[in-house]
Amino acid sequence: MSRVSLPYVALGDSYAAGVGGGPGRSECWRAFAGYPVSVARSLGVDLAYQACLGATVANVVEDQVAALGPETTHVSLTIGGNDAGFVPVLVECAKPAWMTDSDRVLDEASALVTQELPGRLDALLGRVREGAPTAELVLTAYPVIFNGTDCNALTFFSPHEMSRIERGTGELADVISAAAAKVGARFVDPRAAFDGHAVCDAVEWINGVGWPLEESYHPNGAGHEAYARLVAEGFGVEPSVLPQRDRPEVRVEEGPARRGDAPTFSLPDLLSGPSLDGARRAGIDPDRVVRLVREDRREELQELDREVRASR
């Protein structure tokens, strides 16, 4: 007997898998707070929840597109951030200046987005159209995560790095928009909706450093609801305004629980060899760094970081 596909198939990475908005339910996370579940309820259709933590374009092709079929009427896709090195960029920029020169990693990410990602997306969208030729297709970009301020004590994002990350988010949005246009898909850009709700804003829709660390720099519950509204509108329906508990139930079937290839966020280890060696090269006594870390004197560590950046 042939497999029957569900009407709505949600493809993509951790932003589509609900990371940051609620507890994970598998290796792929797939929280019920993720936007696909809310969108399914707004559409009134059953959901094949395929999106997965750490997914790249290649992971979507390998593990997720098999859920598509002739019965598929709606497909959403959030992908590209991990191909662009979203997490490695954040990991590098979170380090203090004596540990890293993050411009190299940012340059590599920008080159990958503009030179390699368009071809990867085109190939993926060809597979999606082949698997569900008549389905409505919505592609999303990503929000700007910083407002120019890093208020998390354990990270060292500089204004320069945050500005470059914002530009990279724009480059990524342009590439995703162009790919969507080629196949007649609708493009959803969340940047305007998330304006004023970045990390360290008064009302955050994106987590800063969170526990577990996988949730760091992902939408929180309000952020996933914002995504749900935008994607539902992309499908041409009014998003549900009912609380989650009062919305109509839909059937949710999960795809393979194979975590994607991309790494997850980690905090800088200030007591590591690279940190202490970097401090020495920057003219900082490594023993001072050790003492400040062990005494939890975070403000002084932040001041050291600013001094090193100012000296460059």
Q: Which helix (H) or strand (E) holds 77?
A: strand 74-78
User: Does residue 212 have a cis peptide bond before it, meaning omega lies within 30 degrees of 0?
Assistant: yes
**Closest to 67 measured CA to CA, from 46, 44, 93, 94:** 46
Where, residue-wise, is CATH 3.40.50.1110 in the chain? 8-267
pLDDT in tens, 185-209: 999 999 999 999 999 999 999 999 9
Residue range 82-104: mean pLDDT, rounded: 96
d(CA 176, CA 142): 10
Return the pLDDT at 153: 86
CATH class of 8-267: alpha beta
Quick check: pTM over 0.85?
yes
Q: Specify the DSSP element, H or E, that contains 234.
A: helix 221-234
- 161-187 pLDDT, tens per residue? 999 999 999 999 999 999 999 999 999
Q: Residue 210's pLDDT is what?
A: 86
Query: What integer is the mean pLDDT of 108-122?
Result: 97
**Would you name the residues annotated as active-site residues?**
14, 218
Q: Residue 157: which pLDDT band, with cuts at 50, 70 and 90? A: very high
